Amino acid sequence: MRISWTLVGADRLTPAARVSPGAARISPLLNAIMKIERIVSTRLPTPYGEFAIHGFRESESGQEHVVLSMGELTGSEPPLVRVHSECMTGEVFGSLRCDCRSQLQSAMKRIADEGRGAIVYMRGHEGRGIGLVQKLRAYAEQDAGADTIEANAALGLPIDARRYDAAACMLRALGVNRIRLLTNNPLKMAALAEFGIEVVEREASLTEPGPENERYLRTKADQMGHHDLGHLFE
């Protein structure tokens, strides 16, 4: 089954079947005034080279995010950008259930190789926005045979509850409004465009599947419309 998706303002990317006919569409103009403040910028030496790291805070929710940047982001040529959702299980503990850690490391390396670009690291996106403990509950459902979409549905949770308005605001705060986006996810492209970020090119972000994450990646490709992943299984 392939799911049809609807972009509902900035608040949620939701399967179309679960959006009521009268669901209010939030104006991008209204969300553009969302207050997010850059608190600090400093350097971050990494195995891939030295990045600048910028700490941001949303004034209403207090949610904090960071942007890693390298080189000059403004200019005539759009920089390579990855908008990356936090994943404690993958990035901290090395879980093989997903490819989040590999995607983050690959993005850092690609930006370092180019000498220019940014990674917008979104806190509060754990488990596609459902939170850490709920993600673990979804893992238990998957261990019982569900795929990632079925697991969330069984728990009464949205398939994808992430917001990208803050990502757009942070990019604009850094003087960026045109990007080459490193993603397989068409919803990220649509969401960023909703808030005035022009995606002039999409570049694939592919990692080698393994036995623990193959079904996860197949679900992204077959049911969530993610680009390029199908080639991994040919």
Residues 6+ apart with CB under 8 A from 41: 52, 53, 54, 55
- Angle 165-65-140 (CA atoms, 0-180°, nearest 5)? 90
Residue list for the binding site for GTP: 82-86, 103, 126-128, 148, 183, 188
Across the beta sheet with 80-85, the strand order is 36-46, 49-58, 64-70, 117-122, 80-85, 178-182, 198-203
Per-residue pLDDT at 102: 93
Record the pTM: 0.82
Look at phi and psi of residue 192 and say left if phi exceeds 0, alpha if psi is from -120 to 50, else beta: alpha
Residue 52 token pair? 């600048």
Q: Which residues are annotated as a binding site for Zn(2+)?
A: 87, 98, 100
Q: How many angstroms separate the CA atoms of 50 and 192, rounded? A: 27
CB neighbour list of residue 1: distance below 8 Å, 6 or more residues apart: 223
Distance CA 132, CA 134 (A): 6
**pLDDT score for 184:** 86
pLDDT per residue, tens digit, the chain (234 aa), is: 343 333 333 333 333 333 223 223 344 544 544 689 999 999 999 999 999 999 999 988 999 999 999 999 998 899 999 999 999 999 999 999 988 999 999 999 999 999 999 999 999 999 999 999 999 999 999 999 998 889 999 999 998 999 999 999 999 999 999 999 999 888 888 889 988 899 999 988 877 777 776 766 666 666 565 655 555 545
Topology, domain 38-203: Rossmann fold (3.40.50)
Q: In this predicted structure, what is the pLDDT of residue 4? A: 35
Residues acting as catalytic residues: 160, 162
